[in-house]
Structure 1
Amino acid sequence: MIINFSLAVAKRILLEKLGEGVNAICSPFSINAILKSLAAGSEGATLKQLLDVLECRSLNDITKTVTLQSISSTDGGPTIYFANGVWISKLFPLKPSYRDFFKAVENPKIEEVDFQNEAVEKRINLWAKEATKGLIENLFPLDSIPKDTVSVISNALYFKGAWKIPFDVSKTREEDFRLLSGQATRASFMNQWGICYDFGAFESYKVLRIPYKNYTGENRLAATIKDQHERCFSMYVFLPNEKHGLPNLIESIKFQNLFNEQMKLDRVRISPLSVPKFKFSYGCELSNMMKELGLTLPFEHNDELTGMVYGSNFKVTSIFQKSYIEANEEGTKAASAMSTFCTASRYKPPSIEFIADHPFMFIIKEEFTGCILFMGTIVNPPPSTN
């Protein structure tokens, strides 16, 4: 489950860039993971505030939450990789309790560095690039990490999924995509006809679930989810009825209740299905958004961020996320790196059109655990790059 606070931050990110006509993507899952890492290094009022936004009663609750286990698929199914890293100043030794916490998370990397004299950015950038299979490069520009940094906490998320029903490349066509401004731009649209998908029509928008090919090998969650042998991932496309309706959709939608029983989808025949290809990256600084949403204490000098290293008077100075996504006829590749300093009927169903020729939102979600890996908006598809 992704906490409401992380979804609220993601919502702010998407809304902030709509007015600029910029595509955006972020990872609520990565935001959640960073907050967990900060909580494990806090105490007092700061810990309480972090536990409140994490919707946990104690640090023990954090370790009990369902995590996203890595999959390395060899049968054409999805590939998932999630990693955590912490770079600690040699001047501030890591506390054993925090080292134990970090060793318990997915794919941990713990390294002592000299922020004063080393180009630590190169180390972290290489780690992020390797963890995201080359999709996230130059997470930190050179000399961007302050010399008085005590720690950098990072995580990296990589997803690659092939559509369960691939799009035929020969059916891809150049068509108009209507921008929020009312103007049109040309984009490459992937097309299918007569395929059954899960679909729902609501008051002001439509939703289509496009599934990825399933992973059917040994499930890494078997220890906690018995007899569960399939990991299912999908992309949900939220298409407003109005050409300019995306801002109102994002403003009004309640992300925390988005996938409950109220959003009932039915299996219907979609003909045609037309969705633009897209590929872009986006990065943003999140600390101001978090402060505006009520998470303030980690960003203030105090003696409560002391569960990580020996010392006092620490504060979080920046929380940054950079994400990448590419969706084409074969499937989707997506990645995010984040850091902080300090269901077919026998009869023929009716045909329903789904033509995403105006700004829309997408969500990539793991169906069993409910983890929302990525959220994004397409307001201006990149030009075709054949």
Structure 2
Amino acid sequence: MSNAMKNTGKVTARILSALSGVVGDRARNRPVKVERSLPTKGDSVAGPWLIARKTASLVLDGERNSVYSPSCIFEGLRALSLGASGDTAAELAQLTGSHSLKGDWLGLENSERWAYPSYKGRIATGIWLDKSAAPEKIFENACAREGIPVARIELTRPGAGDEISRWISDMTEGLLSPRIDPGPEALACVASVLYLKDAWKDSFDKNLTKRKCFHAVTGDIKADFMVDENKLEVSDGSSGTVVNLPLSAGAIMMILLPREGLSLSEVILEGSALSSIEHFNGQKELVELHLPKFTCETVIGRIPEILSKIGFSTAEMPDLCRMTGKAHTPTSYAHGAKISIDEDGLEAGAYFAVCAAAGLPSRVEIPPKPRKIVLDRPFLYAVVSRTGQPMFIGSVAKPESEDSAWYSRASHSQEDGADELVFNDEEIPDVCRIILREELSTYRFEIICKIYGVLERSIMLDGYWEALDTYKAMKRDLTAWAVMGGDERTDREEWCRNFVAKWLYTRSG
């Protein structure tokens, strides 16, 4: 069995085991559209936007895809400040503020009112101290006040970073699995994570997704464009057009399409684009939105250099005496993020790790004619929390989707008199096919997998959202099969046995 398949299985198992409760039509267990108003920003925390404004031009690249999380960096630096003294404490206070944060400051906590039962949102921080570290009482009290757990372990032993790596992986539902290696001289490690999985407030119709041309800087390419016609908030400014795409739980994906004649690189360097997003003041319009599906994962390098440029000049040798008992310890940093969007919604995760004295790898009316917004050239986006904070910021220079090899045969279709409704029917031509359908007589959901000439099996599930998540996970495994199909080293019979054992026996209803 391939490593890709093993990892996919572990991720999916964790996601499915964590999901609980289903909101929907009680008879059919389908999603219910819940109307809710989006909250106002109110008195929001200033730090994440300050970090976003200072770092965007240093991190984002107009000629390649990139994504990072100002809120995750903010949370990690805020935890670091609890153990800082002297100039380091003053510099971090300028970036993160000196006041305590209490409650759900990103608005991520779950609520029964939210429409998507598989919703997950969390921001978390952990601190690991080596047994040789000598933290001050003021640091321990501050961590207790902020609700940040502190673990005492032998941080210097080989493999000690595996515990931190597993924590990051678990907190991001397996979306990110960085290798953390504190090293033999480690005194402390601080890690923060941010994870969001949510559906669009109004989902895209998969039948309308079409392959069309995207005008990348390096030349035109084909991409899968999702299409929706809806009333969305839109604003036009000097940098371009900003359109808001709401998620079911109140967060928003805000997308800036640079005006004609202005490149994404120019927009990023000019700096006003983030201001247009942060201080967005748009009006609702009927919009025909064309948005390419994409997946992007980025590991940011040069973190000390970036932090130094935004005001943390002691980043490489900070004074963390209150945390470690030693002043001016050499410190390394790592930040990574991943985001994926499709017709159903968005999944994104990020981590920020700091290691002292060690190293880390670097509807039915006659509507008005809609405004047409086609994101067929490089654009900027931000995923903003329902409290107005920048959770993720990224650039799309060339859409790359995990679904690029798949072609849709049918979606949400039902033949006259048939006792089943097909939700998804996708195929990699001449390789494999996967179908998700509902048996209308029993209100149960069936997933059918076909590897042409090799395998054809099916499983039954009771809930729509569990069936959809399982469908996507099985599809990732089939993608791995297609990718390694030409590798003569692959034991195809063993792969199929493992696939059947993983999905078609243990998941059967």
TM-score by length of 1: 0.83
Opposite residue 67 of structure 1, the aligned amino acid is W
Equivalent position to 1:358, from 377, 387, 396? 377
Identity of aligned residues (%): 20
The answer to whether the 8 A contact 1:72-1:79 is kept is yes
The secondary structure found in structure 2 opposite 1:88 is strand
- Alignment of 1:213 with 2:248, yes or no, is yes
1-side partners of 2:296 and 2:82: how far apart?
33
Equivalent position to 1:282, from 288, 292, 298? 298
1:326, distance to aligned residue in structure 2 (A) = 0.8
The answer to whether the 8 A contact 1:73-1:79 is kept is no
2-side partners of 1:260 and 1:146: how far apart?
39
Aligned counterparts, 1:294-313, within 5 A: 294-300=311-317, 304-309=319-324, 311-313=325-327
1:230-285: CA deviations, max 9, x gaps? xx211011001236621121222346744566x421111112x1100011211113
For residue 194 of structure 2, what is the aligned residue in structure 1?
157
- Alignment of 1:133 with 2:173, yes or no, is yes
Higher relative contact order (CA closer than 8 Å, sequence separation 6+)? 1
Task: Assess, with a 3 A threshold, how the Cα gap between structure 1 residues 91 and 296 changes in structure 2: closer, same or farther.
Answer: same
2-side partners of 1:200 and 1:70: how far apart?
26
For residue 223 of structure 1, what is the aligned residue in structure 2?
none
Equivalent position to 2:310, from 277, 286, 293? 293
The secondary structure found in structure 2 opposite 1:99 is helix
Pairs aligned (count): 348
Task: Assess, with a 3 A threshold, how the Cα gap between structure 1 residues 340 and 256 changes in structure 2: closer, same or farther.
Answer: same
For residue 121 of structure 2, what is the aligned residue in structure 1?
80
The answer to whether the 8 A contact 2:240-2:259 is kept is yes
More helix by share: 2
Instruction: Give the unaligned 5+ runs of structure 1.
Output: 215-231
For residue 241 of structure 1, what is the aligned residue in structure 2?
259
Aligned counterparts, 1:221-236, within 5 A: 232-236=250-254
For residue 101 of structure 1, what is the aligned residue in structure 2?
142
Opposite residue 116 of structure 1, the aligned amino acid is T
Task: Assess, with a 3 A threshold, how the Cα gap between structure 1 residues 316 and 276 changes in structure 2: closer, same or farther.
Answer: farther
- Alignment of 1:200 with 2:216, yes or no, is no
The secondary structure found in structure 2 opposite 1:100 is helix
- Alignment of 1:117 with 2:157, yes or no, is yes
Task: Assess, with a 3 A threshold, how the Cα gap between structure 1 residues 316 and 385 changes in structure 2: closer, same or farther.
Answer: farther
Q: Using the TM superposition, name which of 147-156 and 117-126 deviates more.
A: 117-126
For residue 145 of structure 1, what is the aligned residue in structure 2?
182
Opposite residue 73 of structure 2, the aligned amino acid is I
Task: Assess, with a 3 A threshold, how the Cα gap between structure 1 residues 109 and 201 changes in structure 2: closer, same or farther.
Answer: same
For residue 221 of structure 2, what is the aligned residue in structure 1?
185
1-side partners of 2:272 and 2:329: how far apart?
32
For residue 27 of structure 1, what is the aligned residue in structure 2?
69
The answer to whether the 8 A contact 1:10-1:375 is kept is no
CA RMSD of aligned residues (A): 2.5
1-side partners of 2:75 and 2:291: how far apart?
31
1-side partners of 2:380 and 2:272: how far apart?
14
TM-score by length of 2: 0.64
2-side partners of 1:300 and 1:212: how far apart?
41
Opposite residue 44 of structure 1, the aligned amino acid is G
1:70, distance to aligned residue in structure 2 (A) = 4.2
The answer to whether the 8 A contact 1:2-1:32 is kept is no
- Alignment of 1:11 with 2:11, yes or no, is no
1:299-353: CA deviations, max 9, x gaps? 226xx321113x22333522211111110000001111110112x9x99444211
Opposite residue 336 of structure 1, the aligned amino acid is A
The secondary structure found in structure 1 opposite 2:268 is helix
The secondary structure found in structure 2 opposite 1:153 is strand
1-side partners of 2:212 and 2:400: how far apart?
13
Equivalent position to 2:348, from 331, 334, 342? 334
Opposite residue 309 of structure 2, the aligned amino acid is E
1:102, distance to aligned residue in structure 2 (A) = 2.2
1:196-254: CA deviations, max 9, x gaps? 1111122341011011113xxxxxxxxxxxxxxxxx21101100123662112122234
